[in-house]
Amino acid sequence: MDLRQKFEQKRILAPELRQSLKILTLSIPALKRLAENEMLDNPVLEEKPAQRSSFKAKRSNNEGTWDLSHQIGKLTNKPSLQDILLRQLGMFAEDDSAIKIGEEIIWNLDENGYLKVSLDEVAATLNQPIEKVEKTLELIQKFDPPGVAARNISECLLIQLKMNNESDPLLVRIISQHLEDVAKKRYQLIAKALGVPFENIEPLIQKIRHLNPKPGSNIRR
């Protein structure tokens, strides 16, 4: 199976992975509320008496038994950002050297998901060609959560645009050249610099504000 085919599979798996990430970031009270809502929405669910403060609900169907306590139990051993990325690396790395480089990159991400070392440092540490390191970084930047393994905030947001199939050149220019102006709400200045009416800028600013500048922040290290 070539790399293109692997990423076709990734596009199918990504929504499920994103849902799992969302569940894993919920607090225990939030998960209990989720279970209560499931039982209200699905009469066949049954809540069992608590044992050692556990909270369980099961649903039987043609595919087997669904055990909500499995998700709640994960809270005691919630996967870290590194765990989640290493799992994806194992699925999509093309060879052993890519896995080795990918592991070095992943373990050098900070709590917000940004790469803390240069690619030259990674290449020197592992005695690998810089081209291979760059290719592996590009691979990891396609993983969930979107925007991970960026080297700065502009790159982080541009990765998210690409994953969302956003290609508006004005939006790309604002992120690449005017993020400080966005932060300071200098929208008229941005419009003037880009040579467009302010009305064209406003919806793009809103799109930027819906991106996540800290993609790793909701996942425990």
Which tens digits make up the pLDDT trace of 45-77?
Answer: 555 544 443 333 333 344 443 344 444 444 457
Output the CA angle 147-149-150, nearest 5 degrees: 70
CATH 3.30.310 corresponds to the domain 81-140: no
**Nearest 5°: phi and psi at 88?**
-70, -35
Q: Is the pLDDT of residue 211 over 60?
A: yes
Pick the more confident residue, 169 or 61: 169
In the predicted structure, residue 216 carries a pLDDT above the cut 70: yes
Domain boundaries, the chain: 3-77, 81-140, 153-209
Contact 214, 113 (CB under 8 A): yes
Residue 30 clears pLDDT 80, i.e. is over it: no
CA distance 81 to 114: 11
pTM equals 0.67
Average pLDDT over residues 132-139: 98
Cα gap 193→119, rounded to integer Å: 33
